[in-house]
Amino acid sequence: MIEELIRPHLRTFKPYVSARSEVLDAKIFLDANELPVGNPVGEGGIGLNRYPDPFQIDLRKAIANGLAVDPEMIFTGVGSDEIIDLLIRLFCEPALDSVTVVEPTYGVYRVAANVNAVRTTTIELNEQFQIDLASTLASVRPDTKLIFLCSPNNPTGNVLNREDILSLCKKTSAIVIVDQAYVEFANGSDDLARIVRELENLVVLRTFSKAWGLAGIRLGYCIAHAQIVSYLLRIKSPYNVSAVTSRLALNALKNRNFLVNAVATIIEERNRLATRLNALPCVVKVYPSDANFFLVEFQDAHLVFETLRRAGIIVRRRSEPRLANCLRLTVGTREENELLLSEIRTKT
């Protein structure tokens, strides 16, 4: 079934074979036109004068081990943003195919589709910001190749019901992409990765940019059916993930305590911040959050935004009519959150 969803020309396409695609293990490398005399930066033995492993085998194994899935089910990209783009390019024929975007949600799904001249169908989440199964399923037409879901959802902060996600996967032939960029902040809702083994049209996106604290290295990954991963490996640029990124991510994975502690700190701060925000007269509603941010409705979001900006505090505005008067606030350190609260309390 996956094969049928892949763009026809990519089913038979011959990928670029890079110098390092085949032999990684040799005494002397004279195949890739690299500089043999080192490089000008101190680099901790990574060997930066050499190209990295194009298939990121060690990194994919380490990620897979942590999730108890096969490395063949892991694909790594330059942030999950690269993977969103690659999935669209793998499955969607420009001007012919379409993707469903379930709003309000992360803006890159739509932008990546637009860049690729792929049409989007918009379906609204219901009042509770949950999937409206009937309308989402009704949006699926023969040309719908992908459905983008985000859980916990950005910017609303809530986890989507697991049963709805699974039911959507079972009732449609389209690929259902569940972006779990913030899943580490949502207690106990990370088991979708293992379910990918049973549902070949489910793709789970994850990132090192949030709970791992490594937005700067640009590393995301997806957990997907091995056939989808093998196609992604064929269409990506030859050396997408750098040796520096790969090394730092491998180091991070050996230090899971960092993630556990960081998540605990953010959740504690999230709870505190919710209580404190709820007590402010200018706050209309603090939406419950399973992520490291809050969607907050204010009496006058513009005033709050401008006041915070003058104080050097940047938060995210929302433009959707449904989120008029809402701002998205990232949970910061205790000190940062205190400053945020005191600016809102005293100046708005």
* Closer residue to ligand PMP (CB): 78 or 277: 78
* Closer residue to ligand PMP (CB): 77 or 344: 77
Buried b (16+ CB within 10 A) or exposed e, 237-258: eebbbbbebbbbbeebbeeeee
- The whole-angstrom separation of Cα 326 and Cα 176 is 28
* Closer residue to ligand PMP (CB): 52 or 220: 220
The yes or no reply on residue 157 touching ligand PMP (CB under 6 A) is no
The yes or no reply on residue 115 touching ligand PMP (CB under 6 A) is no
Task: Please pick, from the candidates 74, 125, 150, 174, the single residue that binds ligand PMP as defined by CB under 6 A.
Answer: 150
- Contacts of residue 192, Cβ cutoff 8 Å, sequence gap at least 6: 162, 165, 178, 180, 202, 204
Task: Please pick, from the candidates 56, 100, 136, 154, the single residue that binds ligand PMP as defined by CB under 6 A.
Answer: 154
Task: Please pick, from the candidates 55, 75, 91, 106, the single residue that binds ligand PMP as defined by CB under 6 A.
Answer: 106
- Contacts of residue 26, Cβ cutoff 8 Å, sequence gap at least 6: none
Edge-to-edge strands of the sheet including 74-77? 74-77, 220-223, 202-207, 175-179, 144-150, 98-103, 119-124
- The whole-angstrom separation of Cα 338 and Cα 153 is 25
* Closer residue to ligand PMP (CB): 55 or 212: 212
Q: Which stretch binds ligand PMP (CB under 6 A): 51-59, 75-83, 115-123, 127-135?
A: 75-83
- The whole-angstrom separation of Cα 4 and Cα 27 is 43
The yes or no reply on residue 207 touching ligand PMP (CB under 6 A) is yes
Q: Which stretch binds ligand PMP (CB under 6 A): 78-86, 139-147, 254-262, 267-275?
A: 78-86
State CA 264 to chain mean position distance: 21
- The whole-angstrom separation of Cα 2 and Cα 215 is 31
- Among 245, 346, 332, 342, smallest CA distance to 293 is for 332
Q: Which stretch binds ligand PMP (CB under 6 A): 76-84, 117-125, 158-166, 320-328?
A: 76-84
Give the x/- contact pattern for ligand PMP in 165-204, rule: CB under 6 A. --------------x-x-----------------------
The yes or no reply on residue 100 touching ligand PMP (CB under 6 A) is no
- The whole-angstrom separation of Cα 49 and Cα 100 is 43
Distances (CA, A) of 187 to 115, 214, 289, 329, 333: 35, 20, 11, 20, 20
Task: Please pick, from the candidates 144, 209, 337, 348, the single residue that binds ligand PMP as defined by CB under 6 A.
Answer: 209
In the numeric block, the tokens 């995210």 are attached to 316
* Closer residue to ligand PMP (CB): 55 or 106: 106
The yes or no reply on residue 294 touching ligand PMP (CB under 6 A) is no
Give the x/- contact pattern for ligand PMP in 215-234, rule: CB under 6 A. x----x--------------
Q: Which stretch binds ligand PMP (CB under 6 A): 73-81, 125-133, 192-200, 328-336?
A: 73-81
Least Å from the CB of residue 179 to ligand PMP: 5
156 touches 104 (CB < 8 A): yes
Q: What is residue 327's three-state secondary structure?
A: strand
| Residues in touch with ligand PMP (CB under 6 A) | 79-81, 106, 150, 154, 179, 181, 207, 209, 215, 220
